C-alpha cells in the first residue's frame, strides 16, 4: 500500500489508512523565494499536513511559448524548487493549475496575451459580442488547444511528484469555480462551439425535429437552425428552458472531462478536484443561499469523471447563529452530487477575508473549521493561510494581498492562527480515526433539482422560484430541521433509484406547484411502500411544462388544492401562528387535520396514511421568523414518529456526531454571543460564546 491514494467509503485512503486533508492556501508567487521555507515551517507548526496553491498559467508563461518552472526569470517561478521544499518538510501538495485560477490575478490567472492574441476564445453574448476581455468560452477549439499546451508543460512536473510515485502531490484541482462569473452575470456561453453542442444535445434527446416541435409547439425546420434561448422565460415554452438548463450542466461537465482527459494523458492519477463557488458577501456575513443552485451546475460531472472530488467555498465572514446552517446544508448538497464512496472537502474555508473589513476573529475560524468537519467533510483547505504581495504584472486589485490571513505578508502570526493550530493538534492525534467516521443523520431531505436550475433564467418566473426556495427551504424548513435537533443527508429525487429511496425511513421534501410526473410517482411509491414523508409548502399540480399533472395528489387522495392569501393558521391545539407566502388548503377525505387557516377554517396541514406509509403535508410557508416555527416543525416530524435524538441540546446548542465501529466524535456548537453550560455524554462543560467542543469517546 506504500505510495498510494484511494477513494473508499467516503474517505481518502493514503498508504492504506484513512486520511483527513488539512491544508492551507499559500501563494508562493506572492511571497519572496527566500521566505518560502519560513512559511512552510509555519504551516507545519500549525498542524497542517498539506500545502495548497494555485499554479497560475500567466505566471509561468508570461510570453507565449516562454515557460519558467525553475526560477530562471524570477526566483518566485521556481515551482520545482517549491515541490522539493515541501517534500523536505513532509507536506503534501494540493495543486491547482487552472487554466482559470481567479485569485485576484489579471486575466483570471490566464495569460493576458492569450485573449489579446486569440480574441475568438472570449465568451460571447447572445448578440455575438464579447462579454469582456478575459472571460472565456470553455469549449472554444482555439482555447482548448492552448490549454493543452499549458497542461503539456505543467502536468508532467505535477505527475512526476504525485504520491503514487513517491512524491507529495496528493490531489489536483482542474480549473477554478467553473461557471462562477457566468452565473453571477447571468451570462451563459453563446459561442459557436456551445451552440453546436446545444443542438447535438437536443438531437440526442428528441431524435427527430418533428418530435421536438411537437413537444415545444414550435416549427423549427431542423436542429441546425435552433438557437439557444435568451434567458427571458416564457411560461408557454417552459420545456425549452428546462432543456437548456439541463444542457448547461452537461456543457460544464464535458468541459471538465476535456481537462481531465488532458491531465490523465500527462500521467495524473491522484484524485481530481472541482471547487464550487457557494457564498455571497453581504454586510458583515457571507451567505450560502445561492449555494444549492451553484452546486446543481456540477450535477453531471460525475457522469463524465466518476471519481471527481467536489469541494465548496465557505466564505462566511462572521459565522454565528444566523448563518451556521449554511455550512450544514451546503456540505450535504455537495455530498448529494458526489458518487457514493468518494469523499467531499471544502476547498476554500475562510481563514482570511479578501478585504480588511469586516474583521475576522478567532471564533469565526474555529466555528467554520469544526462545523465543516462535524458535518462529515474529510478535507479542509484554509484560504488564505498566508498573506503576500501580488507581483505588479499579476495584480488585478493592486499589489496588496493580505487577505486577513493568519500569517501576514511579512510573516507574523495573527490571533486567528490559534484555532487552526488547535485543530491541527487535534488532527495529529486523531487524523485516521476521524477520517474513518461518518456523520450520523436522522432523516433524508429530498431535493428536486429543477427548482435550482435557474441560474440563467431572466424575469419573474425564475426570480419567484429563487425567492421561494431560499426563504422557505434554505432559511425555512432546512434551517428549522437543524434547529429542531435533526441532522440530515440529501437525495437527488430525480436520480435516486426507487429501491434506494424506499430504504429511507423518513424523508422531507420541499415542493412547489410543479414537478415532473415520474418524480411525483416516485414519491407516491415511496409512501405506499412504507415511507414517511413530510411534504412542505406546495403539492405539485403541474409538470415541468406547467401543464396539469396531479399524479401525487391522486395518490394521496387530495381532491382539490386551493391557494389563498392567508398566512395566519391555527394548530389543532388552538395556537395561532404566522406563516409566510400563500397558503394551500386541501379538500381530502380520511386525513387528520393538524392546522387550519384562521379566517376560513380550511385544512392547511394534514396527515394521512397511504398504503403502508404516512404523509404529512404542510401547505404553509415556514421560514424561521419566530422560534415557534421550530416547534411546529418538530411537531410535524413527531406526527410521523420522528423525534430528535434524546441527547440533543437544540435549539440553543447544535450537536452533530461522526461515528465508526470503534469511536464516536460529538461536535457541540455554541453559535451565540453568550456563554452556555452543557452536559453531554456525561460530561459537564462550559462553552464560551461562539465556540465549539469536540468530545471523543470509545464505543
Between CA 354 and CA 404 the distance in angstroms is 7
Between CA 570 and CA 579 the distance in angstroms is 10
Task: Kindly list the distances between the CA atom of residue 492 and the CA atoms of 276, 336, 449, in Å, as whole numbers in the listed order.
Answer: 18, 7, 7
Q: Which of 244-258, 271-285, 336-350 has the lowest mean pLDDT?
A: 271-285
Structure confidence by residue, pLDDT tens digits, 604-656: 999 999 999 999 999 999 999 999 999 999 999 999 999 999 999 999 999 99
Contact 42, 402 (CB under 8 A): no
Residue pointed to by grid coordinates 500521467: 267
DSSP notation for 246-280:
HHHHHHHHHHHHHHHHHHHHTT--SPEEEEE---E
DSSP notation for 32-79:
-GGGHHHHHHHHHHTT--EEEEE--HHHH-SBTTB--SSSSS-GGG-H
Residue pointed to by grid coordinates 406547467: 546
282 pLDDT higher than 80: no
pLDDT band, residue 129 (cuts 50/70/90): very high
Average pLDDT rounded to a whole number, residues 113-134: 97
Buried b (16+ CB within 10 A) or exposed e, 8-47: eebbbbbeeebbbbbbbbbbbbbbebebbeebbebbbebb
Q: Tell me what pLDDT residue 284 has.
A: 79
Strand partners, 276: 312
pLDDT band, residue 1 (cuts 50/70/90): low
Query: Is the C-alpha dihedral spanning 50, 56, 62, 67 positive or negative?
Result: positive
Q: What is the largest CA-CA distance in the chain?
A: 81
Buried b (16+ CB within 10 A) or exposed e, 299-328: bbbbebbeebbbbbbbbbbbbbbebbbbbb
Q: Tell me what pLDDT residue 64 has.
A: 98
Between CA 633 and CA 630 the distance in angstroms is 5
DSSP notation for 144-206:
HHHHHHHHHHHHHHHHHTBGGGTSSEEEEE-SSSTTHHHHHHT----SHHHHHHHHHHHHHHH
Average pLDDT rounded to a whole number, residues 510-537: 98
Torsional class of 330: left (φ above 0), alpha (ψ -120 to 50), beta (otherwise): alpha
Residue 680 host element (H or E): strand 676-680
Contact 172, 268 (CB under 8 A): yes
Helix, strand, or coil (residue 21): strand
Between CA 413 and CA 404 the distance in angstroms is 11
Contact 372, 346 (CB under 8 A): yes
Contact 349, 306 (CB under 8 A): no
What is the average pLDDT value for the chain, to the nearest integer? 97
Pairing label, strands 663-670, 558-564: unpaired
Name the grid cell of 394.
499579476
Structure confidence by residue, pLDDT tens digits, 10-39: 999 999 999 999 999 999 999 999 999 999
Between CA 194 and CA 397 the distance in angstroms is 31
Q: What percent of the chain has pLDDT over 90?
A: 96
Strand partners, 280: 287
Q: Omega into 358 within 30° of 0, i.e. cis? A: yes
Q: Tell me what pLDDT residue 281 has.
A: 79
Residue 666 host element (H or E): strand 663-670
394 half-sphere exposure, CB direction, 13 A CA radius:
29
Residue 172 exposed, middle or buried by CB count within 10 Å (0-12, 13-18, 19+): buried
Distance separating the N- and C-terminal Cα atoms of the chain: 28
* DSSP label of 237: G
Between CA 327 and CA 474 the distance in angstroms is 11
Structure confidence by residue, pLDDT tens digits, 92-112: 999 999 999 999 999 999 999
- Residue 650 has a CB neighbour count (10 Å cut-off) of 17
**pTM of the entire predicted model:** 0.97
Contact 315, 350 (CB under 8 A): yes
Q: Which of 390-399, 584-593, 672-681 has the lowest mean pLDDT?
A: 672-681
Q: Which CATH architecture describes the domain 443-639?
A: 3-Layer(aba) Sandwich (3.40)
Average pLDDT rounded to a whole number, residues 586-591: 96
Average pLDDT rounded to a whole number, residues 119-135: 97
Contact 612, 654 (CB under 8 A): no
Ranges for all domains in the chain classified under CATH 3.20.20.80:
5-185+249-436
Name the grid cell of 289.
443561499
Residue from 454, 514, 474, 520 nearest 622 by CA: 474
Pairing label, strands 5-8, 11-14: antiparallel
Residue from 348, 376, 425, 506 nearest 11 by CA: 376
Name the grid cell of 527.
409512501
Count the residues in the chain.
699
Name the grid cell of 227.
438557437
Q: Tell me what pLDDT residue 699 has.
A: 80
Helix axes 209-216, 238-265, angle to 10 degrees: 130
168 pLDDT higher than 90: yes
Q: Tell me what pLDDT residue 285 has.
A: 86
58 pLDDT higher than 90: yes
Between CA 45 and CA 378 the distance in angstroms is 21
CA 122, 124, 130, 135: dihedral to nearest 10 degrees?
-40
Q: What percent of the chain has pLDDT over 70?
A: 100
Q: Tell me what pLDDT residue 581 has.
A: 87
CA-only gyration radius of the chain, Å: 26
Structure confidence by residue, pLDDT tens digits, 674-696: 999 999 888 888 999 999 999 99
Q: Omega into 294 within 30° of 0, i.e. cis? A: no
Structure confidence by residue, pLDDT tens digits, 354-363: 999 999 999 9
In 200-343, where do the E strands start and end?
272-276, 280-281, 286-287, 309-314
Q: Tell me what pLDDT residue 463 has.
A: 96
Average pLDDT rounded to a whole number, residues 369-395: 98
Ranges for all domains in the chain classified under CATH 3.40.50.880:
443-639
Average pLDDT rounded to a whole number, residues 28-52: 98
Between CA 170 and CA 95 the distance in angstroms is 8
CATH, range 5-185+249-436: 3.20.20.80
Residue from 265, 313, 38, 34 nearest 158 by CA: 265
280 pLDDT higher than 90: no
Dihedrals phi, psi of 171, to nearest 5 degrees: -160, 155
Contact 250, 300 (CB under 8 A): yes
- Residue 664 has a CB neighbour count (10 Å cut-off) of 16
Contact 57, 111 (CB under 8 A): yes
Structure confidence by residue, pLDDT tens digits, 461-516: 999 999 999 999 999 999 999 999 999 999 999 999 999 999 999 999 999 999 99
Amino acid at each position: 500500500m506504500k505510495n498510494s491514494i484511494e477513494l473508499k467509503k467516503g474517505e481518502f485512503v493514503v498508504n492504506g489508512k484513512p486520511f483527513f486533508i488539512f491544508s492551507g492556501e499559500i501563494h508562493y508567487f506572492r511571497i519572496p523565494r527566500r521566505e518560502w521555507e519560513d512559511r512552510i515551517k509555519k504551516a507545519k507548526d500549525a498542524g497542517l499536513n498539506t500545502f495548497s496553491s494555485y499554479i497560475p498559467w500567466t505566471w509561468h508563461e508570461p510570453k507565449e511559448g516562454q515557460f519558467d518552472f525553475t526560477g530562471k526569470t524570477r526566483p518566485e517561478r521556481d515551482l520545482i524548487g517549491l515541490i522539493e521544499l515541501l517534500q523536505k518538510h513532509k507536506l503534501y501538495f494540493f495543486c491547482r493549475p487552472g487554466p482559470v485560477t481567479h485569485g485576484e490575478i489579471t486575466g483570471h490567472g490566464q495569460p493576458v496575451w492569450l485573449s489579446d492574441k486569440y480574441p475568438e476564445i472570449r465568451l460571447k453574448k447572445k448578440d455575438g459580442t464579447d462579454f469582456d476581455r478575459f472571460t472565456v468560452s470553455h469549449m472554444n477549439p482555439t482555447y482548448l488547444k492552448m490549454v493543452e499546451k499549458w497542461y503539456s508543460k505543467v502536468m508532467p512536473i505535477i505527475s512526476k511528484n504525485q504520491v503514487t510515485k513517491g512524491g507529495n502531490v496528493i490531489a489536483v484541482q482542474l480549473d477554478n469555480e467553473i461557471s462562477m462569473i457566468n452565473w453571477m452575470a447571468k451570462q451563459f456561453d453563446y459561442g459557436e462551439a456551445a451552440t453546436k453542442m446545444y443542438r447535438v444535445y437536443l438531437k440526442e434527446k428528441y431524435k427527430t425535429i418533428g418530435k421536438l416541435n411537437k413537444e415545444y409547439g414550435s416549427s423549427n425546420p431542423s436542429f441546425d437552425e435552433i438557437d439557444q434561448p435568451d434567458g427571458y422565460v416564457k411560461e408557454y415554452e417552459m420545456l425549452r428552458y428546462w432543456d437548456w438548463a439541463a444542457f448547461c450542466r452537461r456543457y460544464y461537465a464535458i468541459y471538465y472531462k476535456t481537462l481531465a482527459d488532458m491531465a490523465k494523458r500527462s500521467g495524473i492519477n491522484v484524485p481530481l478536484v472541482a471547487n464550487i463557488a457557494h457564498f455571497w458577501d453581504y454586510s458583515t456575513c457571507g451567505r450560502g443561499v445561492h449555494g444549492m443552485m451553484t452546486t446543481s451546475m456540477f450535477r453531471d460531472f460525475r457522469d463524465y469523471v466518476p471519481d471527481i472530488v467536489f469541494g465548496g467555498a465557505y466564505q462566511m465572514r462572521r459565522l454565528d447563529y444566523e448563518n451556521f446552517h449554511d455550512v450544514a446544508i451546503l456540505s450535504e448538497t455537495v455530498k448529494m452530487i458526489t458518487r457514493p464512496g468518494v469523499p467531499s472537502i471544502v476547498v476554500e474555508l475562510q481563514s482570511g477575508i479578501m478585504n480588511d473589513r469586516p474583521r475576522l476573529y478567532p471564533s469565526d475560524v474555529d466555528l467554520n473549521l469544526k462545523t465543516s468537519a462535524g458535518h462529515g467533510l474529510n478535507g479542509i483547505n484554509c484560504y488564505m493561510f498566508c498573506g503576500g504581495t501580488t507581483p505588479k504584472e499579476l495584480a488585478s486589485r493592486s499589489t496588496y494581498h493580505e487577505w486577513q490571513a493568519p500569517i501576514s505578508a511579512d510573516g507574523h502570526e495573527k490571533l486567528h492562527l490559534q484555532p487552526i493550530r488547535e485543530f491541527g493538534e487535534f488532527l495529529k492525534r486523531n487524523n485516521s480515526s476521524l477520517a474513518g467516521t461518518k456523520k450520523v443523520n436522522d432523516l433524508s431531505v429530498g431535493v428536486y433539482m429543477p427548482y435550482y436550475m435557474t441560474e440563467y433564467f431572466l424575469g419573474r418566473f425564475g426570480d419567484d422560484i429563487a425567492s421561494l426556495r431560499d426563504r422557505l427551504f434554505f432559511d425555512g424548513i432546512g434551517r428549522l430541521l437543524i434547529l429542531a435537533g435533526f441532522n440530515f443527508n440529501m437525495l437527488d429525487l430525480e436520480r435516486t433509484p426507487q429501491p434506494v429511496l424506499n430504504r429511507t425511513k423518513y424523508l422531507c421534501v420541499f415542493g412547489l406547484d410543479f414537478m415532473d410526473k415520474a418524480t411525483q410517482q416516485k414519491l407516491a411509491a415511496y409512501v405506499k411502500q412504507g415511507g414517511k414523508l413530510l411534504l412542505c409548502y406546495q403539492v405539485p399540480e403541474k409538470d415541468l411544462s406547467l401543464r396539469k399533472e396531479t399524479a401525487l395528489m391522486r395518490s394521496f387522495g387530495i381532491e382539490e388544492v386551493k391557494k389563498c392569501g392567508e398566512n395566519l393558521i391555527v394548530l389543532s391545539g388552538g395556537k395561532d401562528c404566522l406563516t409566510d407566502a400563500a397558503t394551500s388548503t386541501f379538500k381530502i377525505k380520511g386525513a387528520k387535520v393538524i392546522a387550519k387557516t384562521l379566517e376560513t377554517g380550511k385544512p392547511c396541514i394534514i396527515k394521512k396514511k397511504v398504503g403502508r406509509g404516512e404523509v404529512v403535508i404542510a401547505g404553509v410557508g415556514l421560514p424561521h421568523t419566530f422560534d415557534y416555527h421550530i416547534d411546529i416543525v418538530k411537531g410535524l416530524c413527531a406526527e410521523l414518529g420522528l423525534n430528535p435524538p434524546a441527547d440533543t441540546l437544540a435549539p440553543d446548542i447544535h450537536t452533530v456526531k461522526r461515528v465508526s465501529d470503534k469511536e464516536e466524535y460529538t461536535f457541540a456548537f455554541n453559535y451565540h454571543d453568550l456563554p452556555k453550560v452543557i452536559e453531554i455524554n456525561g460530561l459537564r462543560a462550559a462553552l464560551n460564546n461562539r465556540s465549539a467542543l469536540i468530545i471523543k469517546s470509545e464505543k
